[in-house]
């Protein structure tokens, strides 16, 4: 654990890690410049930072010393994010990483960079830049894996990407609690209550997030889309003829359909029509979907007409009605085809987006529910 330095700049008391190196003086100058005093010479800061990395390179705890260095940026970063000055807050970590990457390239050595990538990711999430936030958080996890030599290190980046809210030692835990609450109380409970299924968040966690047979790519892809979905549902509903909104909605629907397709374990060779039928029979041995003779009604050209019938409750297979889950499965099947081939504005998607996305999520939750323990 580093010793602490207390500096007073214009009446602001700032607590820094004592790095035991003259780079301390550069951090004081950096804080002065950030608080409106004379601008810092960043070349001097970079030179002293590189000297610090050289200084700790031979130490057994060099990675902890790297963390102490990066943590010295956090006081002013917190001040900026509290003021919602996100571009400036991002720039702190961008510059810190540029300095570090230059040293790594020059020396052919490595600095542990999990901390700056993590806090940069947090900044992006706070600014609703979800895609950048996720890839930076993944980069933080990669750093943690390399440093710890452990594929599942107990670090904040890993907790965030896998939705692990119980560990307390994570700066961004409140955001995780918020997204878990959305996933649990809005999406999962909607499925379990409306479809009368014995499924809850614990089942989702054990059979999906903690399931070692499901690759992390699928988990991260689903989790990213939960964030995107929450953001979209909190926005004002667009006009039915909003082309961009329609395309963004379709992108999320298609992404979720791909998660579903992975979970139902495709046949070899893959045949989505056959796989959907097999899945429906796994759900219910006498499912009417078994009587669907061909996929013509779910081809790209015909699907919107079929979707209209499913949504208004008039679609039948051999004059047999579908139950609600069978409708969910067929909606998911149709959008897997439609999303792969269509780029067009569609009022039906915008006007029924919440119903459609919940149907696809219902299919995903059913696939997870039916997985063997």
In three-state form (DSSP H/G/I as H, E/B as E, the rest C), the secondary structure along the chain is CCCEEEEEECCEEEEEECCCCCHHHHHHHHHHHHCCCCCCCHHHHHHHHHHHHHHHCCCCCHHHHHHHHHHCCHHHHHHHHHCCCHHHHHHHHHHHHHHHHHHHHHHCCCCCCHHHHHHHHHHHHHCCCHHHHHHHHHHHHHHHHHHHCCCCCCCHHHHHHCCCCCCCCCCCHHHHHHHHHHHHHHHHHHHHHHCCCCCCHHHHHHHHHCCCCCCHHHHHHHHHHHHHHHHHHCCCCCCCCCHHHHHHHHHHHHHHHHHHHHHCCCCCCCCHHHHHHHHHHHHCCCCHHHHCCCCHHHCCCCHHHHHHHHHCCCCEECCEECCHHHHHHHHHHHHHHHHHHCCCCCHHHHHCHHHHHHHHHHHHHHHHHCCCC
Number of domains in the chain: 2
Inter-residue contact 5 to 24 (CB < 8 Å): yes
Pairwise CA distance, residues 51 & 222, whole Å: 43
- Give a yes or no: residue 145 inside a domain: yes
Mean pLDDT score across all residues of the chain? 90
Let me know whether 280 and 144 are in one domain: no
End residue of a domain, out of 133, 166, 199: 166
- Give a yes or no: residue 178 inside a domain: no
294-299: average pLDDT: 84
Which pTM was predicted?
A: 0.88
pLDDT at position 181 over 60: yes
End residue of a domain, out of 141, 166, 191: 166
Pairwise CA distance, residues 120 & 124, whole Å: 6
CATH of the domain at 30: 1.25.40
Pairwise CA distance, residues 82 & 207, whole Å: 37
- Give a yes or no: residue 177 inside a domain: no
Residue with tokens 């804080």: 31
So what's the pLDDT on residue 56?
93
Q: In the chain, what percentage of residues exceed pLDDT 70?
A: 96
So what's the pLDDT on residue 344?
76
- Give a yes or no: residue 265 inside a domain: yes
Residue with tokens 């780079």: 23
Let me know whether 160 and 193 are in one domain: no
pLDDT at position 167 over 70: yes
- Give a yes or no: residue 61 inside a domain: yes
Let me know whether 24 and 83 are in one domain: yes
Range of the domain at 125: 4-166
Structure tokens at 156: 């904040």
276-292: average pLDDT: 94
277-294: average pLDDT: 92
So what's the pLDDT on residue 33?
78
pLDDT at position 1 over 60: no
So what's the pLDDT on residue 11?
63
Pairwise CA distance, residues 163 & 173, whole Å: 9
- Give a yes or no: residue 227 inside a domain: yes
Let me know whether 14 and 149 are in one domain: yes
Let me know whether 194 and 343 are in one domain: yes
Inter-residue contact 191 to 361 (CB < 8 Å): yes
Residue with tokens 């919107």: 304
Let me know whether 142 and 192 are in one domain: no
So what's the pLDDT on residue 10?
61
52-58: average pLDDT: 94
- Give a yes or no: residue 30 inside a domain: yes
Let me know whether 208 and 300 are in one domain: yes
Which of 26-40, 65-79, 258-272, 334-348 reaches the highest mean pLDDT?
A: 65-79
So what's the pLDDT on residue 281?
95
Let me know whether 112 and 227 are in one domain: no
- Give a yes or no: residue 172 inside a domain: no
pLDDT at position 339 over 60: yes
When pLDDT is cut at 50, 70 and 90, the band that residue 131 belongs to is very high
pLDDT in tens, 72-125: 999 889 989 999 999 999 999 999 999 999 999 999 999 999 999 999 999 999
Inter-residue contact 229 to 332 (CB < 8 Å): no
Let me know whether 102 and 199 are in one domain: no
Q: Which has more confidence, 344 or 332?
A: 332
Pairwise CA distance, residues 256 & 45, whole Å: 46
End residue of a domain, out of 136, 166, 196: 166
pLDDT at position 221 over 90: yes
Let me know whether 359 and 267 are in one domain: yes
Let me know whether 86 and 187 are in one domain: no
Q: In the chain, what percentage of residues exceed pLDDT 90?
A: 69
Let me know whether 117 and 225 are in one domain: no
Which of 77-81, 151-155, 325-329 reaches the highest mean pLDDT?
A: 325-329
Q: Which has more confidence, 351 or 295?
A: 351
pLDDT in tens, 227-252: 999 999 998 888 877 888 888 999 99
């Amino acid at each position: 654990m580093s010793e602490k330095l207390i500096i007073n700049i214009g009446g602001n008391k700032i607590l820094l890690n004592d790095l035991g190196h003259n780079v301390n003086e550069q951090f004081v100058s950096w804080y002065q410049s950030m608080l409106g005093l004379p601008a810092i010479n960043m070349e001097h800061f970079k030179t002293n930072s590189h000297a610090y990395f050289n200084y700790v390179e031979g130490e057994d705890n060099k990675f902890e010393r790297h963390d102490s260095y990066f943590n010295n940026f956090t006081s002013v970063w917190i001040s900026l994010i509290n003021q919602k000055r996100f571009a400036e807050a991002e720039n702190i970590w961008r510059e810190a990483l540029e300095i570090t990457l230059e040293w790594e390239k020059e020396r052919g050595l490595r600095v542990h960079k999990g901390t700056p990538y993590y806090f940069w990711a947090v900044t992006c999430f706070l600014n609703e830049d979800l895609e950048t936030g996720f890839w930076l958080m993944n980069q933080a996890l990669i750093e943690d894996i390399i440093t710890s030599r452990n594929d599942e290190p107990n670090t904040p980046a890993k907790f965030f990407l896998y939705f692990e809210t119980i560990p307390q030692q994570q700066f961004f835990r409140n955001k995780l609690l918020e997204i878990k609450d959305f996933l649990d109380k809005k999406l999962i409970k909607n499925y379990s209550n409306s479809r009368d299924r014995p499924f809850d968040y614990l089942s989702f966690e054990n059979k999906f997030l903690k399931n070692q047979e499901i690759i992390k790519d699928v988990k991260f892809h689903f989790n990213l889309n939960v964030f995107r979905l929450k953001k979209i549902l909190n926005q004002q509903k667009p006009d039915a003829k909003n082309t961009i909104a329609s395309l963004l909605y379709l992108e999320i629907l298609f992404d979720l359909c791909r998660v579903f397709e992975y979970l139902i374990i495709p046949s070899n060779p893959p045949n989505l029509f056959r796989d959907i039928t097999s899945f429906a029979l796994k759900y219910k041995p006498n499912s009417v979907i078994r009587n669907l003779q061909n996929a013509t009604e779910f081809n790209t050209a015909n699907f919107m007409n079929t979707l209209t019938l499913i949504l208004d409750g008039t679609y039948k297979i051999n004059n047999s009605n579908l139950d609600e889950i069978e409708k969910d499965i067929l909606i998911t099947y149709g959008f897997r085809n439609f999303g792969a081939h269509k780029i067009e504005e569609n009022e039906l998607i915008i006007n029924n987006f919440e119903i459609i996305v919940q149907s696809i999520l219902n299919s995903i939750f059913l696939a997870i529910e039916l997985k063997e323990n």
